[in-house]
Every structure is written in C-alpha cells, then in structure tokens.
Amino acid sequence: MTKPGSAITQSLRGMALSHPDTIKVHFDPDFVERLAPAPSGKVAVVKGSGSGHEPLPIGYVGLGMLDAACPGPIFTSPSPVQLLAAVHSVDRGGGVLFVVKNYAGGVLNTELTIELALQEGIDARYVLVNDDVSIPKVANRRGLGAATLACKIAGAAAESGYTLDAAVEVTRRAVAASRSMGVGTNVNTLPRNGPGENLADDTIELGVGIHGEPGEVRSVSKGMPEIVDLIVHPILHDLPFASGDRILLLISGMGGTPPLELYLFSEAIHELLAAHNLRVERQLIGNYLTCLGRGGYTISLMRLDDELLQLWDAPVHTPVLHW
Amino acid sequence: MAQEITTNQLRKWLLAYAARIIENEDHLTELDTAIGDADHGVNMRRGMGKLQERLRDEGHSEDVSAFLRSVAMTLISGVGGAAGPLYGTFFLRAATSPTNGSSIDLEQLTQMFRYGLDGLQQRGKAQADDKTMIDTIQPAVEAMEAALAAHQSAAVVLAAARQAAHLGMKHTIEIEARKGRASYLGPHSIGHQDPGATSAYFLFETAAEVFTITGAD
C-alpha cells in the first residue's frame, strides 16, 4: 500500500472509481453523496455507519435511496463532523432523515448532529432501527438487516415527495414491521456427505451481532431445516407474523459465507415460510449487511402493506440496489 | 459586587485544563485499558492539542456564549470516540446558559455547569452511579449550587466543587459500570476508577486553581 490514507480512504476512492455514474466521494471529512440531482424541497436521507458492514451504507447511495452516507472507522460510528458535512451537502430545504442502527455511538453522534443542524435552522430527525430479536429487551435491540430495508423505504418516500414528518412516520412503520436474527456459522454448515448427514459436530452461534458480538452456541445435527427453525421461529413469534402475511425477505451473508450456502439456507427458509402460509412477495439474497469476513448470515422479515410494497418497488439506482 | 469571570479567564481555565489532560494522558490510558478500549488518553490528548491551538489563536470572540460554542465544536471534531460528542455536548449546552455578554458572575458560572450537566445527561442517558463522567460532574454542580445558596465566596464555591468532584471520581472505583464499554465487564469493572470521571474531574480542579487566583472581588 503506497497510496496515502487509511484502508477506508483507499476503499472510498475505489468505490468512486467503481461507480462513477452513481456516487461521488468527499474526503476530510469523509462522506459519499449521490450524483443524481435532488429537487429543491426533497427530504434528504442520510446513513452513517461504522465501516466493516459493506455494502451498508455506501452501496445504498443514489436515486431513490440515500442522499449521503458517512463511513466511520471499522465498527465505529462516524463523527458529527462527517455527518454535519453530509447534511450541508445534501440538504435541499426539506429536512434531513437519519437512519440509525441502535448502537450507543451512532445514536450519540446522530443526536448531537441533529442538535447542531437544528441550531443552523435545518430540520433533522432520526429513525432508530432495532430489529434484532435475539435481545429480549426491545430498547436494547441492535440494528440489523432492517437498516437496509429502512434506507430503501425512507429513500423512496423522500424521492416521491413525502414531507419529513411523513417520511419519518413510514420509515418507523417499516422498522416496526421488521424482525431479524443473526447467526454465526463457526463451523462450515455445508453438508460434507450430502445434506443432513455428518453434521453432528457442527455448531451455530445464534443471535450474533454484526460487530463480532457473541451469540448462543447451539449444536445442530439435522442440517438446514433445524438451523432455519432455530433462527426463524423467534422472528415469527416476536412480531408476530400471521398466516397470510405478505413478506419482504432479506437473507444477507456476513461476508464469509459462500452464495451456495446462502441458497441452501434459502431453500429451507422458503419451505418453512410456506408451511406457515407466509407469502414471500419480495426478496433479496446476497451480501447486504456484513461483518467484515465472518461466516454467518442475518435473516430479516418485513411484513408488507400496500404502501411499504409500493415504496419498495419504487425506482432505485444505487451501486447495490437498482430497479 | 459579584465576582465576574471574563471570557479571557474562561480561556485561561481551558488552557490549564488542556495542559492538565496532556500531563495525565498516560494515566487516562492506563485507566481506560483496565475497563475500556484504551483510547481515552490518546483521544483527549489529541483534542486538547486542537483546543490549545484554537485558544491560542488571536481574535477569538469576547462573547462568552460564542466562545463556549467554539470550544464545543473544537472538542467534537478534535476528540472523537464517545468523549468528543459528550464533552462537545457539555460545552454546547453550557454555551446556552445566561451570561453578561463578555463575562459571567459566580451564579452564572454555576448555571453554566448545570446546563452542561443537564445536556450531558440527556445525551449520554447516564445517571449517577453508572460509573461515568456524571459521577464527577453532578456532585460538583450540586456542591456549587449548595455553596452558592449559602452565600459563600467564589473561592469556597469552587473549592466545594473540586472536593465533590474528587470524591465522585474516587467513588467510581467502588461501583459497577452500567453505561459505556466498561458496562460489558459487569462486576469486573468494580475496583477501577472511571477514565471519563477522571478527565471530567480536571475541569473542576483547574477551575478552582484558575478562577480563585485570577478573579477579583
């Protein structure tokens, strides 16, 4: 590495070079902004996040999703200096909506940024994402895959001309309709002698966080259906999801799980959801929210209604999501 | 006539504070290594370096509120971590307290600390006995308010603040952390002095030194 700056700075340069039609990168303070012009009065949607969760948040910058994203150091919230610089760059007079995963540092820095923005006469609010059902106390629940989903909903609402209040309201509703769980695969969960065989020594770690926070180690001997049961039942019972619900399903690898394994998981989860008469209306599978290179995945379910479905289907043009 | 503290004296106080933190960088690092992520000393030293640069600049505002706001912005950008936004909030809120323009009297100084404390509690959501900087600042502010209500002199009010802050800082050794990274250690955090409570103590130590020496009745 001969170029100046940290690995994060270099990675940002790489992102700008890789997606020249979608995003532009600002340095010192570091943030990424969408290239597509935003009309006057549009609500600006901003997401800060510690690095190490890529493509969140930078991969979601663009038309119909985030106006700006601020990457912090690895697993550490960006500073109010970065967040405020992004606000100044993307504010179009319609106010600013921050999507914030529920971690102490992110909340602290966002609340301070909002206080500073308000003092400058810029209206700003935040929506807290706390979808992790592995934490019993709701106030302590961490933000997982619903962060990705909430960014899409908020961005679509803002692009369709929602006011700040209305965009906050629908994004909160999207979060409230979402539940997630992370699982770490400490040992390869792939079948070695065919599915469901020779897995007796294998364990999974149920309820892991996306910063290496430990979960509960469970031994699994019956293959994917058993793993899916352990993960999905707590999600279904928590909301609770009911027969006939329309579902948006997000299966995200944590960065160290091969796509083959994600699809193996997908087969089992579709069977389980069908058995509960839950209709998967829309879905994403791939690396959408990662934990550097660890093995494992997060599963997120959002109960869709007509408005959420319409916002999900609205056009989006970002490095990662585009339709 | 009440004692007045000018913006220039506030500046001298914060220069003394910055110097004291820099002298104590290794001590703060040691405390944070025991129960945190070992970055408090480095973060505070970096922020205090920025603060010294800012305070040594000529042409800073004579207005107390503008001065405190500029201190807040310097700390937010210079310190980083959790301490940057917390100290930043403290001074940002302190900047909204009543002043006489380019000076404050003893009552307003007490209010300044009170505004800062309230902002800090709102932002960090910590209470007394959570083993945080609140355990230093809250008893210090309460001691100032009590001494002020008893019509004590500035020297007595500031000495009371310093003493209460010191006791509060030492009290963090005995209690279990309920906020911040140290809270992950649960009961294992007992027996260690909180690094944030320690850096906050120096605010009152240096205030007692600077304001009593330079203030005139």
The predicted pLDDT at position B215 comes to: 45
Across the interface, whether the CB atoms of B123 and A112 are under 8 A apart is answered yes
The CATH fold assigned to B4-214 is: 1.25.40
For range A113-141, the mean pLDDT:
95
- Domain spans, chain B: 4-214
Over residues B16-29, the pLDDT tens digits come to 999 999 999 999 99
CA A49, CA A92: separation in Å to the nearest integer? 22
Across the interface, whether the CB atoms of A108 and B86 are under 8 A apart is answered yes
The predicted pLDDT at position A200 comes to: 39
SS (H, E, C) chain A: CCCCCCHHHHHHHHHHHHCCCCEEEECCCCEEEECCCCCCCCCEEEEEEEECCCCCCHHHECECCECEEEEEEECCCCCHHHHHHHHHHHCCCCCEEEEEECCHHHHHHHHHHHHHHHHCCCCEEEEEECCECCCCCHHHCCCCCHHHHHHHHHHHHHHCCCCHHHHHHHHHHHHHCEEEEEEECCCCCCCCCCCCCCCCCCEEEECCCCCCCCCEEEECCCCHHHHHHHHHHHHHHHCCCCCCCEEEEEEEECECCCHHHHHHHHHHHHHHHHHCCCEEEEEEEECCCCCCCECEEEEEEEECCHHHHHHHHCCCECCCCEC
The predicted pLDDT at position A181 comes to: 97
CA A290, CA A250: separation in Å to the nearest integer? 13
pLDDT at B94 over 80: yes
Residues 6+ apart with CB under 8 A from B1: B217
The predicted pLDDT at position B1 comes to: 38
More confident residue, B66 or A73: B66
CA A145, CA A214: separation in Å to the nearest integer? 17
For B4, the enclosing helix (H) or strand (E) is strand B4-6
pLDDT at B129 over 50: yes
Region of A64 (left: φ > 0; alpha: ψ -120 to 50; beta: rest) is: left
Of A84-88, A225-229, B135-139, where does mean pLDDT reach its minimum? A225-229
Among A243, A301, A246, CA closest to A277: A243
CA B47, CA B137: separation in Å to the nearest integer? 20
Of these ranges, A65-69, A70-74, A258-262, the one predicted with the greatest mean pLDDT is A65-69
The predicted pLDDT at position B184 comes to: 75
- Tokens coding A176: 């409230």
Backbone angles phi, psi at B152, to 5 degrees: -80, 160
For residue A310, give the amino acid letter.
Answer: Q
The alpha-carbon gap from B94 to the nearest alpha carbon of chain A, in Å, equals 14
CA A211, CA A130: separation in Å to the nearest integer? 15
Contacts of A109 in chain B (CB under 8 A): 85
* Cβ proximity of B113 and B141 under 8 Å: yes
CA B60, CA B74: separation in Å to the nearest integer? 13
CA A34, CA A16: separation in Å to the nearest integer? 11
The predicted pLDDT at position B98 comes to: 96
**Closest B-chain CA to A81:** B77
Task: Output the CA torsion sign for A229, A232, A235, A241.
Answer: negative
The predicted pLDDT at position B213 comes to: 47
For range A252-264, the mean pLDDT:
92
Backbone angles phi, psi at A49, to 5 degrees: -165, 145
pTM over 0.80: yes
Over residues B191-203, the pLDDT tens digits come to 999 999 999 999 9
For testing the chain A interface, which of B42, B123, B179 should be mutated: the one with the most A CBs within 10 Å? B123
Q: Which residue has the tokens 């609770």?
A: A240
pLDDT at A201 over 70: no
The alpha-carbon gap from B123 to the nearest alpha carbon of chain A, in Å, equals 6
Helix pair angle (B106-124, B134-149), 10° resolution: 150
DSSP 3-state of B99: coil
The predicted pLDDT at position B58 comes to: 64
Q: Which of B76, B80, B81 sits opposite A112 (nearest CB)?
A: B76
Please say if A237 is a catalytic residue: no
The predicted pLDDT at position A3 comes to: 57
CA A311, CA A313: separation in Å to the nearest integer? 5
For range B122-140, the mean pLDDT:
95
The alpha-carbon gap from B33 to the nearest alpha carbon of chain A, in Å, equals 18
The predicted pLDDT at position B182 comes to: 83
The predicted pLDDT at position A186 comes to: 60
pLDDT at A306 over 50: yes
B88 — contact with chain A (CB < 8 Å)? yes
Q: Which of B77, B82, B92 sits opposite A108 (nearest CB)?
A: B82
Q: Which domains does chain A have, with CATH numbers?
A: 10-176 (3.40.50.10440), 179-304 (3.30.1180.20)
The predicted pLDDT at position B131 comes to: 94
The predicted pLDDT at position A152 comes to: 98
Cis amide bond preceding A4, omega within 30: no
For testing the chain B interface, which of A116, A128, A140 should be mutated: the one with the most B CBs within 10 Å? A116
Please say if A211 is a catalytic residue: yes
More confident residue, A4 or B164: B164
Residues 6+ apart with CB under 8 A from A4: none
CA B11, CA A142: separation in Å to the nearest integer? 41
The predicted pLDDT at position B3 comes to: 66
The predicted pLDDT at position A224 comes to: 85
For range A36-45, the mean pLDDT:
97
Across the interface, whether the CB atoms of A81 and B123 are under 8 A apart is answered no
Q: Which of A81, A105, A111 sits opposite B123 (nearest CB)?
A: A111
* Cβ proximity of A61 and A14 under 8 Å: no
Q: What is the average pLDDT score of chain B?
A: 91
Sheet order of strands, A203-206 included: A216-219, A203-206, A178-184, A296-303, A246-253, A279-286
The predicted pLDDT at position A198 comes to: 35
